[in-house]
Structure formats: C-alpha cells, structure tokens
Structure 1
Amino acid sequence: MNIIQFEDKPLAHYSYVIISNNEMAIVDPSRDAKPYYELAEKHNAKIKAIFETHPHADFVSSHFQIHKETEAKIYVSKLVGANYPHQAFDDGDTLKMGAITFSAINSPGHSPDSITIIANDIDNNYAMFSGDTLFIGDVGRPDLREKAGNMKAKREELAKSMYHTIHNKFNHLPDTTKVYPAHGAGSLCGKNMSTDPSSTLGRERNENWAFKDLTEDQFVNHILKDQPFIPAYFGFNVAINKEGADNFETTFCDVPFNFGITEFRNYDSLIIDVRKASYFKYNHLKGSINIIAETEDDKVETWLGSIVEPNEAFHLVINSINDRKTILSRIAKIGYEKQIKSIITLGSNKFETFKSLDLENFKKYPNQYTIIDIRNTSEVDEGKVFESAIPIPLNQLRVSKNKIPTDKPIVVHCAGGYRSAAGSSIISNLINNVTVYDLSDDVNEFN
C-alpha cells in the first residue's frame, strides 16, 4: 500500500495520498491543492477520491476545489449535511480503488459527524486514517461543536461518544493496523499528542490513555479537563468546510497592494504586521498588531485566527514583495484572505517605534513594573514565571483593557518570546500614556 503523508507544520496538520494501480485517493487535504497535483503527475495517477473525515475547524480544506478540477468524488459522512456534491460514506459503505478497498467507520467524539477511513489491500495490510478521532497518544477534543456545524452537540455528549468509539468501533482491526491521524503535537485539536507522525493500533492500545480500563465517567472527566482555548476562527472554518471553499489562489489575487508607502491614513482600521519583531519595533504603523510570520515555526495562522475575529477586515503589513504570496497562502489556510483590505510594505519614512526594556533595571526592580503574563491558562496553572504577574491569555487581550493597571510601565511576557510581540503591541494600542515593553525571549533568563 503506497501511502504518502504531507505535513503542514504551522498547523501540525497531516494529509494523505494513497496510490494504487495509477489511481489516487486523498484524505483531509490542506487548502493548497498543488502538492497533490504534483504527486499525481509524478506517479501518472488519476485522482479518483477525496475523503473528508469531518468538517475541519482549524484549517480550510481543498476538497471542493479538487473535486471541481479533477472530477474526483468527495466521500464524507451523510451526517455532515455537506452543501457540495458528495457521496455519503458511513458504516458499511466501501469503495474499491485499484488493489485497495476503503471502508468507513462512523466514529463520533471529536465531532458528531466524524468518520475513520479504513484501507485494506490484497495482502491484508490495514491502515486507518483517523482524522481527529484517534491521535498518537491522545484522542480529539470534544468541545468544538457546541456552536458550529450542521450537527451541534454538547461536549459531555461528544466525550461519551468518544469513549464508545475508542472502546467499541475499532475492535475488529488487527494490532498491525497503521494509524494515520490528521494532526500531531502542536495542534489545538487535542492536548497531549505525540510528535510521532504515525503509529500502530497495537501500540495505541497499549500506550494511549484512551484505551485504558476506565469507566465512562473517568474517561469523560479526563478528556474534558485542561483542553486548550478555542480560537475564534474554528467555528468559521467548520462552516466554510461544510460549504466548500473557493479556489485557493483566485481568492486573493485581487487584494490591493501598496508598495513602499510613506504615509498612511486608514488608522481607524485594524492593521496586522507580520514582520519579525526587530523590524516592527524599529518602525511600524500606529495601532499595528505584530503577529510574526517569519518561519514555519511561527504560528501566524493560529494566532491571527485567535486575535482577529472572522469577517473582521484588516490591512496587512509585510516585509517584502517576495513575501506576498507566502503570507497570503498562510492566511488563506484559515479562510481569512477575504478580510484583507490591502497589503502594505513600508517605505523609508519613520512611523512609530517601540521602546526597548532596560533588562537590568527590570531585574533589580520588578515591582516597579506591571507584568502581564499572556500565556494560556493551562500554562499559567503549571507555574508562574513572575508571582506578581497578571495573567491574561493572548487571545483575550483585545477585550481586556479594564484588567490592565496603568500606574506603572507594563512588561509583557509569554513562554519563549514569540507571543509577547503580539501581546505587547495589542496592549500598547489599548493603553495610552503608559510605556509598554516586550520582554521577548529574555523571558528565558527567568524560567
């Protein structure tokens, strides 16, 4: 069985291609269809099927675009109520492609409409594409569908469904079954995922907490405890994926571009600046929020979709014309490309600067500063970096002005320096007449 795994590192998302006898199936494709087309050309394969394990919350899928451009059928559970052309694929349904037989297992838990795709070849090898149901070392969170999707369900109900899915739905599969999830460590679709990209069902039965001998109540209590925050864009993406997204590249080809500007008048609009922190601090437009998108390790997709609301318009500041396509592509992965009012590069004029923290003074006199800890609640619960710090998670900062004292200079910190660039820029926009500092990666001197 020829299985190729693709990784979208910033979103910790895995998608898959399965090839047999010059025919190809794709599982949970990311927004950009090009890599799958390139692989089809390389193998001289015809794309026959696209499997969607569920309507994804954390990224926009290209399933509808691929269908339109290749005439491949989309296979998804009837419970999704999908508004794009599709073939229902639920318990008992099968599809033969080359030497492989695909079958569906309804596996509610992460969502009420989740399916797991089973692939079985003529040599009796098994693979399961488990979507957000079974991860390596964990299972999908059950708290994302209370307010989104065709089928809404309370987290407690879905947690119970996950218990029965894990303990009953996969029992007929051998231990040698390869497990291919839709996400790995770093995704907000679970809380304790492994960095391993795949596993076997036998290993998960032995090592994954969800397969342990727990009562339903014990299982539910464990899975609901300490789940990560839910970014604002998650429900928005579920709705897009239920409808089918527009073509990946044509959606942002008409975004206005302003090159090397020396003045800016639209200060009543939201401005997102994705340049590195040092560039931002040296020169930026007044009111900008610095959400860094310098490398793949920078999770601009997650934090843009956590700080900016769906359908909230914004101007986008990039460093260079060479970055335009890359940044637009990353923003399109969460469906926010239509919210961009214009793309901007800065010219030689100086706009605003950000003051640097006197680190030695801060070390000597920390009580002379208001310290804001913008880490997630679960991180703060594991221990504070500064006992006097006021915890306000980054995704809540824009609506937390009344929680921030203004009688001292403000120092903002996160865990390693990336998020504090965004946090300090947000607070500096909220608070007048008080200096705001970014502790940045100097926080590592205090950990």
Structure 2
Amino acid sequence: MKIKQFKDEPLAHYSYALISNGEMALVDPSRNPLQYYKYAEENNAKIVAVFETHPHADFVSGHLQIQEETGAKIYISEKVGVDYPHTAFDEGDEVKIGNTSIKPLHTPGHSPDSLTFIAEENGKTVMFSGDTLFIGNVGRPDLREKAGNMKAKRVELAKQMYHTMQTKFNDLPDDTLVYPAHGAGSLCGKNMSDAASSTLGNERQGNWAFKDQTEEEFVEEILKDQPFIPSYFGFNVDLNRNGALNVQKAKYEVPVKLYVDSVEKEGITVVDTRDEKDYKKGHLLNSINIMARSESDKFETWLGAIIQPREEFYLVAESVAQMDELLERTAKVGYEKQMIGIITLSDKVSKSSDDFNLEDFKANKDKYTIVDIRNASEIAEGQIFENAEAIPLNELRDRADELSEDKPFVVHCAGGYRSAAGSSILENKFRNKKVYDLSDAIKEFS
C-alpha cells in the first residue's frame, strides 16, 4: 500500500492516491484530475476507484470527470443521494484495491452523510478521515443547515460528532495513520494543526475532541468561535452532489478579451486579481480587488465569500500568462460558469484609487471613519483602533449602508491582504467619498 498526499495550498485541501498491486484509488480529489493521472502513469497504475468522504463545501471535486475519463467507480454513501452512476458504499461494505481492503465507517458530525475510510494491508492501518477528524481538531458542524440532500441543524450535528468521537474509532490501533481532507487555513474547521498527518494514538492524547467530557461540554466547545461561512459553501455542496463539468472544457469556454478599457455589460462586477499597487493606479469601474498574486493569497476563499453563487462577473488578469492559473483557481470553487469573460486591461484605464497620507492618519485619526473588516472572531479579541466601525469583509457589500459617511474612510484588516478588497468595495459604494486602504501599514499599529 503506497499513499501519496496532494495539497492544494490556497484551500488547505488534502487529497490522496492509494496504490496497491497496480491499482490506484483516489480519495476526495480536487477538481482538476491531471495531477492524479500523471502520478498513475509514473507508477504504472490504473485508476479504478474514487472515494468521496462527503459532498464537500469548500471545493469542487473532479470525481465525475475522473469516472468518465478512466472508468473508475465512485464510492460514496447512499445517504448523499446522488443521481450520477456510483457504487453505494456504507458501513458494513468492503472493497479491495489491489491487496488493500477499504471499509467505510459512518462518521456523522461535520455532515450527516460523512464517511471515514479505513484501509488495511499487511498489518498497516490507515484512515482517511475527510472532514470528520482533523489533526488537532474536528470538522465544524454548522455547514449543512441549508444545503445537501440531508439537512441537519448544527446542534444536532454537534451531538452526532460527539458520538462519532466517542464510539467510531475505538477498535482501531494507536498506530493507525490519520490522513484528513484539510489542514490549517481551511474554513471547514478551527484551530487545526499545521501537521499534514498524525497517528490515532497522538490524536487520542492531544486532540480535545477525544478527551473525557460530557455531550453538553463537547457541543459548547465545538460550536463556539467557528469561522464565517463563505457564500459559496452551500453552492459547492449541491454542485458536488450533482457532479461538476469537465474542468478543461469549462475553463476554456470562458471568453478572453485583451487590452480592455471598458466592458460590454455595464454595472457588472469586475474582479481584479492584480497586485493592489497596480490596481490603485488604474482599474475599471465596479471593480473589486481580490488579489491572486501567489498561492499564499486566499483568492479562492475570498472570491467565493464576496461574489455570490451565480453572480456574473468579469475577471481581470495581470497578463495572458496568468490566465490559465486564474481559470483553474476560479474553477476550484465552481465559479467559472459565472464569468462573462477573462480580460487584460489597456493602459488607458484611468479609474484610480485615492492616495493615502499615512502620516496625516497617524496624527489625525479622528478625521477618518475607520472600517475594521476583520472576521468576527478577530474583532472579538479586541479592536486595533478605538471607535472603528466593524463589518467583516464577507458582509461588507451588504452592510456598507451602516457606515458613517461624514468623513473619509480608512479600511483595515489584520495583515493588509483583505483591506484591498474592502476598500475597493467601498469605492464602488461611495463614489463621491474618499476611501483609503491602510494595507500592510496596519502592522505599525497592531
């Protein structure tokens, strides 16, 4: 049994390939399957199975495309209620991949239909825990109240997670390797470790969810301080239940326009992915600056948090060379069908952002309406500026009317990335007001 872990850095998503005796299975694959195909070729293995732990909320899975292109069977719980060709796989079932035995455990808590897959060969035990057991924590229980075939309230799911942690893994040995679907940085849970894997023994020792506690204590702990839920999460659950389009076909159906100084559909949102400095020098009307300069920028998350599912938008690339990567990153969250076009800008674009005088701000903070767009959990830990008006970035488009308009705006976050998006949102809302981005100068105050 040979296992390869693949990491999608911006979404902190882990997927897996398992190879045994020339056969290969995938667990919770990303949207684009080419990396798995290359790995299968390198190992002279045939992809015969795709295992889905649950219908994911934070990314689009490529399971249907993989089935169509390789003939692999999709194994998923019957509780998910999918219509595409699949093999129902629930507790009590078993399948062989080469010499490896794979069995599912029903482990509800993150979702009511979650599975954990137990793989065994020659005395070695591995668990693919999906969004149930993370390294150092467990999956959040508050994502399935409005999406999916089986809807469940957060308290109900929190109680189910308690019983999962109390009962489902008791027969597994301490040296069982734990491979989760996410790591630190994912919004599918909180306070996750940076470690990519662990052992069940280590988790029993160090993970709070295994500690001796009452159901009431467990529920209180798991429900508190969970991160915000991006707009696209429910959309992705349903998209994964139905099965996504072939990613290559979907990406390259998006129209391309070069050297643009205006767009055909006025009033449509423009998502500008360039560095904030380039954006501020010149951009199109109705632009939101969601930067995608590298994998460390959480472009996918903030695209899906700020832009609504099915909302049309244009996407601005810095150059033609960046287009394929941006299409790929947009397709990860299933937003490629909403794109009217992907464009590069002409140097004639003249809409610019206001120049910010940092020294004046330092000396005269009371002359500005300071807008804190950090998440609610960050704000709860304390304000950076006294009398700042707090609206989390994912709510800013809907709640901007709540802000005082009698002074120029200064927008800040915790590190400088999100404030580029926040200030551009307010520029669109308050076109006759000065709007400034504190950007990474926030580090001088925090």
**Which residue pairs with 1:85 in the alignment?**
85
**Which residue pairs with 2:22 in the alignment?**
22
Residue 412 of structure 2 corresponds to residue 433 of structure 1? no
1:146-161 aligned within 5 A: 146-161=145-160
**Which residue pairs with 1:185 in the alignment?**
184
**Which residue pairs with 1:37 in the alignment?**
37
In the superposition, the TM-score normalised over structure 1's length comes to 0.99
Residue identity matched to 1:407: D
Q: CA deviation at 1:383?
A: 1.3
**Which residue pairs with 1:307 in the alignment?**
306
Q: For residues 351 and 22 of structure 1, what CA distance do their matches in structure 2 show? A: 58
Instruction: For residues 389-410 of structure 1, give each alpha carbon's deviation from its aligned partner in whole angstroms, at most 9, with x where no partner exists.
Output: 1110000010112211111110
Q: Contact 1:286–1:351 (CA<8 Å) still a contact in 2?
A: no
Between stretches 265-274 and 151-160, larger displacement belongs to 265-274
Instruction: For residues 231-284 of structure 1, give each alpha carbon's deviation from its aligned partner in whole angstroms, at most 9, with x where no partner exists.
Output: 000000000100111101101212111101234453311111111111100110
> 1:10 is paired with a residue of what secondary structure?
coil
Q: For residues 338 and 401 of structure 2, what CA distance do their matches in structure 1 show? A: 28
Give me the identity figure in percent.
59
Residue identity matched to 1:121: E
Q: Contact 2:94–2:101 (CA<8 Å) still a contact in 1?
A: yes
**Which residue pairs with 2:144 in the alignment?**
145
In the superposition, the TM-score normalised over structure 2's length comes to 0.99
Q: For residues 339 and 238 of structure 1, what CA distance do their matches in structure 2 show? A: 17
Q: Contact 1:274–1:318 (CA<8 Å) still a contact in 2?
A: yes
Q: Contact 2:261–2:284 (CA<8 Å) still a contact in 1?
A: no
> How many pairs align?
446
Q: Contact 1:411–1:438 (CA<8 Å) still a contact in 2?
A: yes
* Structure 1: stretches of 5+ with no match in the other structure: none
Q: Contact 2:412–2:438 (CA<8 Å) still a contact in 1?
A: yes
**Which residue pairs with 2:203 in the alignment?**
204
Q: For residues 401 and 384 of structure 1, what CA distance do their matches in structure 2 show? A: 19
Between stretches 104-113 and 397-406, larger displacement belongs to 397-406
Residue 70 of structure 2 corresponds to residue 70 of structure 1? yes
Q: Contact 2:6–2:15 (CA<8 Å) still a contact in 1?
A: yes
1:358-437 aligned within 5 A: 358-437=357-436
Q: Contact 1:17–1:24 (CA<8 Å) still a contact in 2?
A: yes
> 1:250 is paired with a residue of what secondary structure?
helix
Instruction: For residues 355-392 of structure 1, give each alpha carbon's deviation from its aligned partner in whole angstroms, at most 9, with x where no partner exists.
Output: 22111110111111000000000001111111211110
Q: For residues 374 and 262 of structure 2, what CA distance do their matches in structure 1 show? A: 35
Q: For residues 376 and 421 of structure 1, what CA distance do their matches in structure 2 show? A: 15
Residue 113 of structure 2 corresponds to residue 121 of structure 1? no
* Structure 2: stretches of 5+ with no match in the other structure: none
**Which residue pairs with 1:249 in the alignment?**
248
> 1:157 is paired with a residue of what secondary structure?
helix
Q: Contact 2:2–2:18 (CA<8 Å) still a contact in 1?
A: yes
Instruction: For residues 325-360 of structure 1, give each alpha carbon's deviation from its aligned partner in whole angstroms, at most 9, with x where no partner exists.
Output: 100000000000000001111112032111221111
Q: For residues 392 and 296 of structure 2, what CA distance do their matches in structure 1 show? A: 20
> 1:316 is paired with a residue of what secondary structure?
strand
Q: For residues 263 and 143 of structure 1, what CA distance do their matches in structure 2 show? A: 41
Q: Contact 1:18–1:25 (CA<8 Å) still a contact in 2?
A: yes
Q: Contact 1:401–1:431 (CA<8 Å) still a contact in 2?
A: no
Q: CA deviation at 1:91?
A: 0.8
> 1:281 is paired with a residue of what secondary structure?
helix
> 1:251 is paired with a residue of what secondary structure?
helix
**Which residue pairs with 1:58 in the alignment?**
58
Instruction: For residues 94-130 of structure 1, give each alpha carbon's deviation from its aligned partner in whole angstroms, at most 9, with x where no partner exists.
Output: 11121210001000000000000000002x1100000
Residue 68 of structure 2 corresponds to residue 98 of structure 1? no
> 2:75 is paired with a residue of what secondary structure?
strand
Between stretches 190-199 and 425-434, larger displacement belongs to 425-434
**Which residue pairs with 1:446 in the alignment?**
445
The verdict on how the C-alpha distance between 1:285 and 1:126 changes in structure 2, with shifts beyond 3 A counting, is same
Q: For residues 91 and 333 of structure 1, what CA distance do their matches in structure 2 show? A: 30
Q: Contact 2:370–2:389 (CA<8 Å) still a contact in 1?
A: yes
Q: Contact 2:356–2:437 (CA<8 Å) still a contact in 1?
A: yes
Q: For residues 432 and 348 of structure 1, what CA distance do their matches in structure 2 show? A: 22
Q: CA deviation at 1:154?
A: 0.5
Instruction: For residues 168-192 of structure 1, give each alpha carbon's deviation from its aligned partner in whole angstroms, at most 9, with x where no partner exists.
Output: 0000000000000000000000011
> 1:396 is paired with a residue of what secondary structure?
helix
Instruction: For residues 17-56 of structure 1, give each alpha carbon's deviation from its aligned partner in whole angstroms, at most 9, with x where no partner exists.
Output: 0011111010000001000000000001011110000000
The alignment yields a C-alpha RMSD, in angstroms, of: 0.8
**Which residue pairs with 2:169 in the alignment?**
170
**Which residue pairs with 1:276 in the alignment?**
275
Q: For residues 388 and 31 of structure 2, what CA distance do their matches in structure 1 show? A: 39
